[in-house]
């Protein structure tokens, strides 16, 4: 589970992790889903997704790459399958289509985040608990030099550093800033327990017409 931290410590090594509407009391409701995939080894992989359009979920690519079955569960308990309609191995971003009722999709942030900005991450219900919203801090925007999800090619990812403790299963969680989606969590630090990395979303998912065209299932590639 993501936990907020306030200390600012430089982090240089990372490892991949295994607008919504407001309620009557003014609380922002983020349409998150629990993602579980099978097909890559004996264990079920777990991640987090967020609705960015009707029936369209964004998550981390390494959560769904190579999967032969993807199951999603919304915060109200609605359950069903999803298919991959977009995947970027370099950015570690994927989009899924599902018939599961997700709730009102979030709006994506147009402006880049700034250092010192407060944000939040909503995690889906798991193990009998309700969905949880936790506060995080944006440390700084960064260009992240890393590898693709297979560790084969060197790549650069534009994103930002987050002051938060990230657990396995939190990959794909959306960082909300000012009530809008800023980017998704894809990795945690291996040298500090209060740091994680988020990646900006690609233009194809930011443009309404482009993401509306993402309807056909595609091959999610090999297992990472």
CA dist 116 and 105 (Å) reads 26
Tell me how many degrees the CA angle 119-81-30 measures, rounded to the nearest 5: 20
CA dist 149 and 29 (Å) reads 30
CA dist 156 and 211 (Å) reads 23
Q: How far is CA 144 from CA 49, 176, 177, 218, in A?
A: 22, 20, 20, 27
DSSP structural state of residue 118: E
Reported residue count of the chain is 224
DSSP structural state of residue 181: E
**How is residue 38 written in tokens?**
């099978």
Q: Evaluate whether 79 touches 71 at the Cβ level (below 8 Å).
A: yes
How many other CB atoms sit within 10 Å of the CB of residue 7?
Answer: 10
Q: What is the mean pLDDT of the chain?
A: 88
CA dist 86 and 61 (Å) reads 9
Task: Identify which has the larger pLDDT, 4 or 182.
Answer: 182
Q: What is the average pLDDT across 158-180? A: 93
> Range with the lowest mean pLDDT among 7-16, 78-87, 139-148?
7-16
> Range with the lowest mean pLDDT among 122-131, 146-155, 158-167?
122-131
Q: Evaluate whether 33 touches 49 at the Cβ level (below 8 Å).
A: yes
- Which pLDDT score, from 0 to 100, does residue 130 have? 74
How many other CB atoms sit within 10 Å of the CB of residue 222?
Answer: 11
Task: Identify which has the larger pLDDT, 197 or 129.
Answer: 197
Q: Report, in angstroms and rounded to the nearest whole number, the Rg of the chain calculated over CA atoms.
A: 16
- Which pLDDT score, from 0 to 100, does residue 60 have? 98
User: Above 90 in pLDDT, residue 183?
Assistant: yes
User: Above 90 in pLDDT, residue 11?
Assistant: no
User: Above 70 in pLDDT, residue 65?
Assistant: yes
Sorted by where each starts, the structural domains of the chain and their CATH numbers stand as: 3-21+106-204 (2.40.10.10), 32-104 (2.40.10.120)
What is the percent of the chain where pLDDT is above 70?
Answer: 87
């Amino acid at each position: 589970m993501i936990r907020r931290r306030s200390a600012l410590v430089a982090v240089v090594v990372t490892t991949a992790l295994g607008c919504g509407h407001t309620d009557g009391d003014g609380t922002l409701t983020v349409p998150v889903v629990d993602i579980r995939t099978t097909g890559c080894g004996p264990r079920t992989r777990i991640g987090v997704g967020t609705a960015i359009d009707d029936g369209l979920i964004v998550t981390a690519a390494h959560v769904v790459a190579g999967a032969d079955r993807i199951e999603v569960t919304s915060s109200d308990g609605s359950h069903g399958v999803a298919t991959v309609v977009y995947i970027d191995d370099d950015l570690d971003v994927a989009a899924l289509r599902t018939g599961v009722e997700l709730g009102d999709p979030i709006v994506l942030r147009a402006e880049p985040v700034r250092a010192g900005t407060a944000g939040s991450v909503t995690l889906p219900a798991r193990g009998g608990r309700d969905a949880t919203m936790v506060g995080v801090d944006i440390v700084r925007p960064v260009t992240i030099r890393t590898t693709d999800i297979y560790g084969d090619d060197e790549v650069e990812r534009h994103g930002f550093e987050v002051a938060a403790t990230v657990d396995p299963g939190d990959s794909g969680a959306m960082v909300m800033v000012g009530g809008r989606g800023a980017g998704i969590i894809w990795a945690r630090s291996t040298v500090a327990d209060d740091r994680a990395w988020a990646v900006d979303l690609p233009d194809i998912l930011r443009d309404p017409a482009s993401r509306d065209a993402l309807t056909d299932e595609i091959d999610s590639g090999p297992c990472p």
